[in-house]
């Protein structure tokens, strides 16, 4: 059996098992990523930046989870630590039923074929000195899947799959527009037939009209390949369109999670309401009072006590600075962490 066919067999086995059990393709449990702050000649660790502080969620096969929040909330660190591009401080990540921390480096490399990432800036993420064939085909060479004519044929197939002309195979990144470059980035991400992709602000750097085209392409590929996406963005309008569920992050923690429809119809956490109120929406029946947040996001080096949102929250009470709010379940997968809203709802 060739390397590629064994991977395909493994994938079919995983798909069948996951469908049968409805087991999440990805489970993240209490993930923490702390970056040490070092000072002095001896580089003594004097503090930690708590970029991600106890994040948990599941992602199912063929599902898109939007992860949103202001810049610096830790959402990109979540995506990268799942893929082990950043080493987590603690917490468990299960992918296709396996705990990633228990795998050897060789096993992890093998699993990484099925976990890919699309970066925000396609220009800086593509090697300017490599042709498209080199950029997309590199993975085939590294994993011993294809070379020579077969590699070229596979790269041409991938180019047409992402809506680019196969004849672009000899072009360099600077010869493409921003949207085309992101299509090259997508072709590279799907080359090894992954089941899970982190889309890390994948359309944020593109013009609005191009954003829509790239999102449509991601949705088509999801249908065709059964992909699961963790779609990281600060643009709530984009997230609403593509996501089945949305998780809202603030200062290293998830503060609300719900189906996309529920979250946009019934935002419960004051931070979610503030974010949503800033999004212009063409639907005039959607009445959301404008909430203006005071001040900037505090530093994760020394996060506020209790509810981390309390210094900016328009409805904060004394309990908010004293106790960390627990997750309250509204049913249907809708959860939020807020003392005041939980009390109002009798929870």
Q: Give the residues lining the site for ligand SF4 (CB under 6 A).
A: 269-270, 307, 309-310, 313, 315-316, 320, 325, 338-340
CB of 156 to ligand SF4, least distance (A): 52
Each residue of 242-273: b (16+ CB within 10 Å) or e? bbbbbbbbbbbbbbbbbebebbbeebbbbbbb
For the purposes of burial, counting CB atoms within 10 Å of the CB of 280, is it exposed (0-12), middle (13-18) or buried (19 or more)? exposed
Q: What are phi and psi of 208, to 5 degrees?
A: -55, -45
Instruction: State in angstroms the smallest separation of the CB of 305 from ligand SF4.
Output: 11
- Cβ distance to ligand SF4 smaller for residue 119 or 309: 309
Q: How far is CA 246 from CA 67, 261, 272, in A?
A: 6, 9, 11
Considering beta carbons, is residue 158 or 307 the nearer one to ligand SF4?
A: 307
CA-to-CA dists, residue 300 to 69, 74, 258, angstroms: 14, 9, 25
Which is nearer to ligand SF4, 161 or 339 (by Cβ)? 339
For ligand SF4, give the closer residue by CB, 12 or 326.
Answer: 326
Minimum CB distance to ligand SF4, residue 34 (Å)? 22
> Shortest Cβ distance from residue 101 to ligand SF4 (Å)?
32
Measured CA to CA in angstroms, residue 319 lies from 305, 324, 337 at distances of 10, 9, 13
Rounded least distance, CB 231 to ligand SF4, Å: 24
Between residues 180 and 328, which has the closer beta carbon with respect to ligand SF4? Answer: 328
Burial class (CB in 10 A: 0-12, 13-18, 19+), 26: buried
Q: Give the CA angle between residues 132, 138, 142 to the nearest 5°.
A: 175
- Please say which residue, 194 or 325, places its beta carbon nearer to ligand SF4: 325
Query: What are the C-alpha distances in Å from 183 to residues 200, 281, 290?
Result: 14, 28, 36
State the nearest-atom distance from the C-beta of 89 to ligand SF4, in Å: 24
Beta strands in 136-220 (DSSP E): 196-200
Q: Could you tell me the smallest distance in angstroms from the CB atom of residue 254 to ligand SF4?
A: 13
User: 169 or 316: whose CB is closer to ligand SF4?
Assistant: 316
């Amino acid at each position: 059996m060739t390397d590629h066919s064994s991977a395909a067999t493994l994938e079919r086995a995983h798909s069948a098992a996951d469908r049968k059990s409805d087991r999440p393709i990805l489970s993240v449990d209490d993930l923490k990523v702390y970056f040490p702050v070092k000072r002095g000649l001896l580089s003594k660790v004097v503090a930690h930046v708590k970029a991600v502080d106890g994040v948990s969620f599941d992602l199912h096969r063929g599902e898109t989870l939007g992860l949103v929040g202001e810049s610096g909330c830790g959402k990109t660190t979540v995506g990268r630590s799942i893929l082990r591009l950043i080493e987590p401080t603690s917490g468990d990540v299960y992918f296709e039923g396996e705990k990633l921390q228990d795998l050897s480096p060789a096993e992890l490399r093998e699993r990484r074929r099925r976990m890919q990432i699309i970066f925000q800036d396609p220009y800086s993420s593509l090697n300017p000195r490599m042709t498209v064939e080199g950029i997309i085909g590199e993975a085939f060479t590294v994993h011993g899947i294809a070379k020579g004519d077969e590699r070229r044929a596979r790269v041409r197939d991938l180019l047409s799959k992402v809506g680019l002309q196969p004849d672009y195979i000899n072009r360099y990144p600077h010869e493409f527009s921003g949207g085309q470059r992101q299509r090259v980035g997508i072709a590279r991400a799907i080359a090894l037939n992954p089941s899970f992709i982190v889309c890390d602000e994948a359309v944020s750097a593109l013009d609005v009209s191009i954003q829509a085209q790239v999102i449509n392409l991601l949705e088509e590929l999801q249908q065709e390949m059964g992909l699961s996406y963790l779609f990281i963005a600060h643009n709530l309008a984009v997230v609403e369109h593509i996501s089945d569920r949305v998780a809202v992050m603030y200062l290293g923690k998830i503060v609300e999670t719900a189906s996309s429809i529920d979250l946009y119809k019934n935002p419960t956490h004051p931070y979610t309401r503030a974010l949503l109120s800033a999004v212009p929406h063409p639907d005039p029946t959607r009445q959301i009072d404008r909430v203006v947040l005071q001040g900037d996001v505090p530093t994760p080096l020394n996060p506020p006590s209790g509810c981390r949102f309390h210094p900016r929250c328009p409805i904060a009470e004394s309990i908010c600075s004293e106790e960390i709010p627990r997750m309250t379940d509204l049913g249907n997968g809708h959860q939020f962490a807020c003392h005041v809203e939980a009390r109002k709802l009798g929870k």
